[in-house]
């Protein structure tokens, strides 16, 4: 499904992959986030994604022109997961709403792993 908006000059259609990539890029800029995770459902394993595949750790659903975002992240060892998740939600919600002009109804953060950073 794609996000749709009407303006004075016409219609705007945004693909969910574009929103997912932007949300993933916004997420990795947050303190305490090592990266996005791709989950292998069959094996229950996660992989740290490279920056060009960052949208694979993000799922975007559009219902009634509102966004629901599901994020799979890897956090740095020693940080408060609650503080990192709250910061992530706040940052991603603000940036995605500004970017798309659409309301973000909810963001679900799935912590898939912890990694020691240097």
- Compute the C-alpha angle 85/89/95, nearest 5°: 140
Confirm if 76 and 117 have CB atoms less than 8 A apart.
yes
Checking if the pLDDT of 99 tops 80, the result is yes
Checking if the pLDDT of 44 tops 60, the result is no
- 2-115: CATH superfamily: Cation efflux protein, cytoplasmic domain (3.30.70.1350)
Domain boundaries, the chain: 2-115
Checking if the pLDDT of 47 tops 60, the result is no
Taken as a whole, the chain contains a residue count of 118
Q: Which long-range contacts (CB under 8 A, 24 or more apart) does 57-64 make?
A: 57/24, 58/20, 58/21, 58/23, 58/24, 58/27, 59/20, 60/16, 60/19, 60/20, 60/23, 61/1, 61/16, 62/1, 62/2, 62/3, 62/16, 62/102, 63/1, 63/105
pTM for the model? 0.81
Query: In the prediction, which pLDDT does 11 show?
Result: 83
pLDDT band at 36 (very low <50, low <70, confident <90, very high): confident
């Amino acid at each position: 499904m794609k996000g749709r908006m009407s303006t004075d000059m016409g219609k705007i259609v945004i693909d969910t992959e574009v929103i997912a990539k932007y949300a993933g890029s916004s997420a990795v800029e947050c303190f305490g986030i090592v990266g996005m995770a791709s989950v292998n459902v069959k094996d229950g394993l996660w992989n740290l994604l490279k920056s060009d595949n960052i949208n694979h750790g993000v799922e975007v659903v559009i219902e009634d022109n509102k966004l629901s975002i599901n994020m799979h992240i890897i956090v740095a060892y020693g940080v408060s997961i609650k503080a990192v998740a709250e910061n992530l939600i706040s940052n991603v919600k603000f940036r995605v709403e500004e970017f798309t002009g659409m309301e973000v109804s909810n963001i679900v953060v799935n912590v898939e792993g912890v990694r020691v950073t240097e």
